[in-house]
Amino acid sequence: MSSYQSINPANNQLLKSWPSHDEAAVSHALEVADRLFHSSWSKGDIQPRLQVLKKLADLIDSRAEELATIASKEMGKLIGQSRGEVKICSQIARYYAENAERILQPQSYPSDLGEAWVEYHPIGVLVAVEPWNFPYYQLMRVLAPNLALGNPVLAKHANIVPHCADVFEKLVREAGAPEGAWTNLFISTDQVADLIADDRVQGVALTGSERAGSAVAEQAGKHLKKSTLELGGNDVFVVLDDADLDEAVRQGVQARLSNCGQVCTAAKRFILHEKIADRFINQFSAALSSATLGDPLDEKTTLGPLSSADARDRLVKQVDEAVANGAKLVTGGKAVEGAGCYYQPTILTGITPDNPAYYQEFFGPVAQVYVIGDDQAAVALANDSHYGLGGSVWTRDIARGRKLASAIETGMVFINSQSDTSAELPFGGVKRSGYGRELSDLGIKEFANQKLVVVA
Ligand code: NDP
């Protein structure tokens, strides 16, 4: 039986099984990708590659409803949010179609050694290991910059979203990309390791758990390959005493319900100033507990299922353990009875540093709430984390917000907004949230040979 199965998490029905790629297929895919890298497609004029991205953006827009429905059925995202994900994918493709040539222009370096500049060249075949939570966006973040640059990609998607993986590969081909530019592989983690070890592969990008990131980084390190990692996050949502409370509550609720809380950069630790804490908790709790659970394809649903039974069971265990270690439930705290992988919106308070939950990421509709007395305490609590992905700060005093944003040890901070993503902005973290950046000018240069040329 293939481990690549499409199962609707709203009712646990098996939609389709997908055959795995055997050794011969993987070997062929690598050969084709490497040949492409040595051809004029990768090494020549950028325009044909940008034309593919432009066509891909148009294709995605024209097939948006079909793509959104596939994702919603396969991993439980609400249909409106799936449409949003599809939209940002076409925006990313279009952004690189329109900006990659400018970003990749050689850059001059004033030097006493002579006329000096850095050129940007592709480095070779890459492996991308991607997760299910944004089953198209995660792929597009790797595809668009690397297609523009000329790096062919072998992609191993999460085993619960094979339909999204398959349809994405077909779209890239339909947009005119040659065979090998983006190859979807239904393979095991051992096969990923074999690919990383192969001399023809020059880098690996992974988004996923710490466990997967650590394994892949170890393999990449052993074989001296470049890697980028985008791992978990335990992002703070700091609400100060002068914040616009209604807006903070509204976006805080969105952060916990959107994609059923399964977003690496979504707010997970709510750090509230003591002057507004009770009011925030009351409003937040009322809004979360009135969420409408249901079918992701029903427009009235505001909270869908988790992506899989495994994801739900992991969350059940974590919340039970947090409560057993002294955390208090303000609302929720249980899986929903019935066929689908639903979990109640949940708020936990009273989490002390000796509770295992204190350092854990809850990948679901669970909020941890902490109360602090001043800005210094907010920063100290924010930085007392193994993770360092994103975060947000809520205050009407922008100078105060900027001070906190600078002091928080993460790769991204938003003031008066929950975390967000856009093609032109870099995305990534520090500490155990990983390293390297995706998107923007920084993302496209991660897997470039930044080659210095000097004329003496
Ligand atoms: P994983 O990290 O297991 O899955 C992400 C991808 O990594 C999948 O394609 C998976 O393949 C692959 N993978 C897993 N182990 C290895 C390995 N040793 N070598 C190569 N590839 C590997 O995430 P889960 O789905 O298990 O989710 C667990 C937790 O990870 C979540 O609760 C959350 O904390 C975090 N996570 C973070 C995400 C983010 O956006 N940063 C996204 C998803 C999860 P396969 O599916 O075949 O196992």
Span from the CA of 213 to the centroid of ligand 1 (angstroms): 8
Give the DSSP H or E segment for 259. none
Mean pLDDT score, 66-77? 98
pLDDT > 70: percent of the chain: 100
Span from the CA of 260 to the centroid of ligand 1 (angstroms): 17
Q: How confident is the model at residue 64 (pLDDT cuts 50, 70, 90)?
A: very high
Q: Determine whether the shortest distance from the Cβ of 192 to ligand 1 is under 6 A.
A: yes
Give me the chain's average pLDDT, please: 97
Atom of ligand 1 nearest to the CA of 157: 9
pLDDT for residue 438 is more than 60: yes
Q: What is the pLDDT of residues 381-413, one digit of tens each?
A: 999 999 999 999 999 999 999 999 999 999 999
Of 102, 97, 85, 99, which is closest to residue 57 (Cα–Cα)?
97
Tokens of 257: 């319900």
Give the DSSP H or E segment for 105. none
Span from the CA of 371 to the centroid of ligand 1 (angstroms): 32
Half-sphere exposure of 145 (CA within 13 A, CB side): 29
Q: Determine whether the shortest distance from the Cβ of 5 to ligand 1 is under 6 A.
A: no
Q: Determine whether the shortest distance from the Cβ of 156 to ligand 1 is under 6 A.
A: yes
Catalytically active residues are 230, 264
Q: Determine whether the shortest distance from the Cβ of 163 to ligand 1 is under 6 A.
A: no
Q: Determine whether the shortest distance from the Cβ of 139 to ligand 1 is under 6 A.
A: no
Q: What is the CA radius of gyration of the chain?
A: 22
For residue 6, what pLDDT is reported? Answer: 97
Degrees, nearest 5: CA angle 349-253-431 = 65
Atom of ligand 1 nearest to the CA of 307: 25
The single residue listed with the structure tokens 């496209």 is 444
Q: Determine whether the shortest distance from the Cβ of 2 to ligand 1 is under 6 A.
A: no
Ligand 1 pocket mutation pick from 74, 196, 204, 209 by most atoms within 8 angstroms of CB = 209
In the beta sheet, which residues pair with residue 455? 115
Of 38, 59, 196, which is closest to residue 127 (Cα–Cα)?
196
Degrees, nearest 5: CA angle 346-247-401 = 100
Calpha distance 149→101 (Å, rounded): 9
Q: Determine whether the shortest distance from the Cβ of 231 to ligand 1 is under 6 A.
A: yes
Q: Determine whether the shortest distance from the Cβ of 209 to ligand 1 is under 6 A.
A: yes
Calpha distance 417→364 (Å, rounded): 20
Mean pLDDT score, 33-44? 98
Q: How confident is the model at residue 202 (pLDDT cuts 50, 70, 90)?
A: very high
Q: What is the ipTM of this complex?
A: 0.96
pLDDT > 90: percent of the chain: 99
pLDDT for residue 1 is more than 80: no
**183 by DSSP, 3-state: which?**
strand
Calpha distance 281→270 (Å, rounded): 10
Give the DSSP H or E segment for 60. helix 47-62
Tokens of 441: 């000018």
Q: Ligand 1: which residue has its CA nearest to atom 8?
A: 158
Q: Determine whether the shortest distance from the Cβ of 312 to ligand 1 is under 6 A.
A: no
Tokens of 166: 């398959």
Q: How confident is the model at residue 277 (pLDDT cuts 50, 70, 90)?
A: very high
Q: What is the pLDDT of residues 217-270, one digit of tens each?
A: 999 999 999 999 999 999 999 999 999 999 999 999 999 999 999 999 999 999
Span from the CA of 155 to the centroid of ligand 1 (angstroms): 14
DSSP, res 136: T
64: left (phi over 0), alpha (psi -120 to 50) or beta: alpha
Mean pLDDT score, 185-214? 98
Q: Are 10 and 295 in contact (CB under 8 A)?
A: yes
Q: Ligand 1: which residue has its CA nearest to atom 10?
A: 158
Q: How confident is the model at residue 2 (pLDDT cuts 50, 70, 90)?
A: low
For residue 389, what pLDDT is reported? Answer: 98
Atom of ligand 1 nearest to the CA of 311: 32
Tell how many helices (H) and how many strands (E) occur in the chain: 15, 20
Q: Ligand 1: which residue has its CA nearest to atom 38?
A: 208
* DSSP letter for each residue of 291-306: --B--TTSTT-SB---
Of 74, 89, 263, 85, which is closest to residue 161 (Cα–Cα)?
74
Mean pLDDT score, 169-196? 98
